[in-house]
Structure 1
Amino acid sequence: MIRALIADDEALARRLIVEYLHAHGDISVAAECDNGLEAARLIGTLQPDLVFLDIQMPKLTGLEVLEATGRRHGVVFTTAYDQHALQAFDLHAVDYLLKPFSQARFDAALKRARALLSAPQAALEPLVTEAATRLERIVIRDREQIHIVPVEKIDYIEAQDDYVAIHAEGRSYLKNQRLSELEEKLDRRAFLRVHRSYLINLSCVQAIERSGKDNHVARLRGGASVPISRAGYERIREAM
């Protein structure tokens, strides 16, 4: 049996997929959910073979669900997007079901999905990466928990080997990502590299203090101190 998960915030859309699946006796519905956060949790715990994933959902979008879970196979998008917005999906050759869709269109998408169940869908990676370039919040998976951190709430970000420690509102979150990768996705007018291991949110800076003959630190809201390199000092002087 193929185990499927249906993630859509519209109850009618979920019922329609269940109805269309009646024609496919080898597929069972493992779970249904109505928001992206629950979808990410259930994908992690249930490991379904097939996911019908709405693109626009509360709490997390469909693409954020893929980012949080690392899911790159057995995905069929369902959406009410208009044709203009779907150009990105056409460009990456990712199959999707545009609402309202018929049984015939559903069956065609399912036939394609069956062929891709065990193989990673290479087209999903650039699509998820492209969506992440419009970074307004960072999705962090920590075991069974998923944290959503709005970018404007971040005080600073610290490199720790292959991870980054994201410091926001008195808490720290570890994310498996390079600091340079994250830096490229953040607004450079708001976040500045002041040290090879640190990015700071300029709106959080309360003072720049000398800590030695040629060394400086940034004092941030909440009391954190971030070291500033010589090159970083020049950059922060220009920025502020």
Structure 2
Amino acid sequence: MIKTIVIDDEPLARMIIIDYLKQYDEFQLVAECGDGFQGAKAIHQHTPDLVFLDIQMPKLTGFEMLEIIDEMPNVIFTTAFDEYAIKAFEKNAIDYLLKPISKERFAQALNKLKHTLPNTDAPQQTREQVKTIREEESLERIVVKNGTQIKIIPVHQVTYLEAYDDYVKIHTKDAMFLKNKTMASFEKQLDPKQFIRVHRSFIAKVDQLAKIEPMEKESYIATLLTGEKINVSKSGYARLKQIIGL
């Protein structure tokens, strides 16, 4: 049996997919979820083989949800927006269903899935493809998982970011969070007028800088409004000068 979860904030959309799914004996519906928070928990609980996932959901988008799950399932995305279909899903790693979903198109997606299932690399290809799509979007909030809790951090609350092995430390005035993501990805997504890569290990929020002082060998140290200090390289200092006119 192919364990399946349907995640969509629209009850009618879930109902249509589930109704179509009943016509295929090899698929077992193990959960249906109305938002990304429920979806992440259901995926952790059931470890499904397949997820039908809506992209645009108000609490937690489909892409944001995929960023915080540990085991990536096979995914068939559902969307009402042509821009995602054209931009994101031309590769063979994943499929999408454009709403309203027809029976014929649904059958095509499942047929494609059956050929994909023997390919154990498909979920990782999906993860990489979603990462590429996300890097082309501007970042307005950061979703992190802290134990069993999911935390949404508005970008305006971030004071600076710090490289930490395979993770990035996201610093706010009140706390620090870990995100399994690269500094390069954050650099691509954050507004370059607000966030500057001042060092290979640090991205600073411009309005949080209190002062910058020279150190040895053309390096600098920046003091933030919080009192914290971060390193600034020669090239990072040059970028700062260009943006804020030091």
- TM-score (normalizing by structure 1): 0.86
Choose the corresponding residue for 1:126, options 113, 126, 129. Answer: 129
- Which position in structure 2 is the counterpart of 1:42? 42
Alpha-carbon shift at residue 203 of structure 1 (Å): 1.8
Aligned partner letter, 1:81? F
- Structure 1 gap segments, 5+ residues each: none
Task: Tell me which stretches of 4 or more aligned residues in structure 1 moved more than 4 Å.
Answer: 70-73, 209-216
Distance change in 2, residues 1:232/1:77 (3 Å) = closer
- Which position in structure 1 is the counterpart of 2:203? 199
Choose the corresponding residue for 1:225, options 210, 215, 229. Answer: 229
Separation in 2 of the partners of 1:45 and 1:102? Answer: 30
Separation in 2 of the partners of 1:169 and 1:51? Answer: 37
Q: CA RMSD in A?
A: 2.6
Alpha-carbon shift at residue 230 of structure 1 (Å): 4.0
Separation in 2 of the partners of 1:226 and 1:144? Answer: 31
Which of structures 1 and 2 has the larger relative contact order (alpha carbons within 8 angstroms, sep 6+)?
1
Aligned length: 239
- Structure 2 gap segments, 5+ residues each: none
Distance change in 2, residues 1:142/1:45 (3 Å) = farther
- Which position in structure 2 is the counterpart of 1:86? 85
Alpha-carbon shift at residue 130 of structure 1 (Å): 2.0
Would the aligned equivalents of 1:191 and 1:202 in 2 still touch at CA under 8 Å?
yes
- Which position in structure 1 is the counterpart of 2:148? 144
Separation in 2 of the partners of 1:229 and 1:85? Answer: 38
The percent of aligned pairs where both chains have the same amino acid is: 39
Distance change in 2, residues 1:112/1:219 (3 Å) = same
Please show how residues 31-180 of structure 1 align to structure 2 within 5 Å.
Answer: 31-69=31-69, 72-82=72-82, 84-93=83-92, 94-118=94-118, 119-121=120-122, 122=125, 125-136=128-139, 137-180=141-184
Distance change in 2, residues 1:197/1:86 (3 Å) = same
Would the aligned equivalents of 1:51 and 1:76 in 2 still touch at CA under 8 Å?
yes
Distance change in 2, residues 1:149/1:26 (3 Å) = same
